[in-house]
């Protein structure tokens, strides 16, 4: 099974979501399809989406590291679970760079999600500067070690390798880099979690043209898709690479 998860970021209106849903329905998904679809949607649409979509995992793009209380503007893990959400993205590079999220904060968020049985989808990745300096593995090791410290190892998590320099830029990591880095992440996960089998996705300018090579790359368990997931045709063309 491979995950095809869209991250709508701060995009879409209710009307555009109706259009998107219509667009998706034009595609026939085979019964034995190996694809697990998912969409990470803005908070205001979560309740409606969680009720609407049966076979699509619906997730949030962020969660508070705090329990319910005096945190104006925040949304708790308990609330996400209460509206029936399946998963929540944590540690997206935009949250790290634009909103100052640290590995320690991300670790707290993962623990809160686990407490309420919402599947965490952890994003990790190096910046262009770190990539050029040959520090990718060092950065990923630190992110994984700190973000996953003392979490419940029995509960499932998903990890997305998203090189920051590939997000929204039209640049994708080469297949060699994706293969090598995914294998490294899986090794690290085995040593941190003491088990195999954690899904590792790739994210960073995935589109219908590059999807076949990326999704069939050894070790890649699916894709986290930003820009292309706003267009039903592109989203479904990426997924249909797998049927």
Interface residues toward ligand PEP, by CB under 6 A: 7, 162, 167-168, 203-206, 224-228
The question of whether 141 is a catalytic residue gets the answer no
Cα within 13 Å of Cα(83), Cβ side: 23
Whole-number minimum distance, CB 169 to ligand PEP, in Å? Answer: 7
The C-alpha atoms of residue 153 and residue 197 are separated, in whole angstroms, by 12
Nearer to ligand PEP, 86 or 162 (CB): 162
Nearer to ligand PEP, 62 or 205 (CB): 205
Whole-number minimum distance, CB 194 to ligand PEP, in Å? Answer: 28
Residue among 23, 26, 25, 53 nearest 40 (CA): 53
Whole-number minimum distance, CB 129 to ligand PEP, in Å? Answer: 18
Q: Which of 65, 126, 130, 162 is catalytic?
A: 162
Q: Which of 92, 126, 130, 188 is catalytic?
A: 92
Nearer to ligand PEP, 113 or 167 (CB): 167
CA angle 102, 106, 109 (to 5 degrees): 145
The question of whether 162 is a catalytic residue gets the answer yes
Q: Which stretch of DSSP H or E encloses residue 159? A: strand 158-161
Q: Which stretch of DSSP H or E encloses residue 224? A: strand 222-225
The C-alpha atoms of residue 209 and residue 240 are separated, in whole angstroms, by 12
Whole-number minimum distance, CB 37 to ligand PEP, in Å? Answer: 16
Nearer to ligand PEP, 56 or 238 (CB): 238
Residues forming beta bridges with residue 2, ordered by sequence position: 35
Residues serving a catalytic function are: 92, 162
């Amino acid at each position: 099974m491979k995950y095809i998860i869209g991250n709508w970021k701060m995009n879409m209106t209710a009307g555009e979501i109706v259009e998107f849903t219509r667009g998706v329905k034009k595609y026939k998904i085979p019964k034995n399809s190996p694809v697990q679809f998912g969409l990470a949607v803005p908070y205001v649409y979560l309740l409606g989406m969680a009720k609407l979509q049966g076979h699509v995992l619906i997730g949030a793009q962020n969660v508070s590291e705090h329990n319910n209380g005096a945190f104006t503007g925040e949304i708790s893990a308990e609330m996400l679970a209460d509206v029936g959400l399946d998963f929540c993205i944590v540690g997206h590079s935009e949250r790290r760079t634009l909103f100052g999220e640290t590995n320690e904060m991300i670790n707290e968020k993962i623990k809160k999600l686990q407490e309420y049985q919402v599947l965490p989808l952890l994003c990790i990745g190096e910046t262009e500067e770190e990539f050029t300096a040959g520090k990718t593995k060092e950065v990923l090791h630190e992110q994984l070690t700190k973000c996953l410290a003392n979490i419940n190892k029995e509960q499932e998590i998903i990890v997305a390798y998203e090189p920051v320099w590939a997000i929204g830029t039209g640049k994708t990591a080469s297949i060699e880099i994706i293969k090598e880095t995914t294998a490294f992440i899986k090794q690290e996960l085995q040593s941190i979690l003491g088990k195999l089998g954690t899904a590792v996705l790739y994210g960073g300018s995935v589109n219908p043209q590059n999807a076949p090579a990326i999704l069939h790359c050894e070790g890649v368990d699916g894709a986290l898709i930003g820009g292309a997931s706003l267009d039903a045709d592109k989203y479904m063309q990426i997924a249909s690479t797998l049927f």
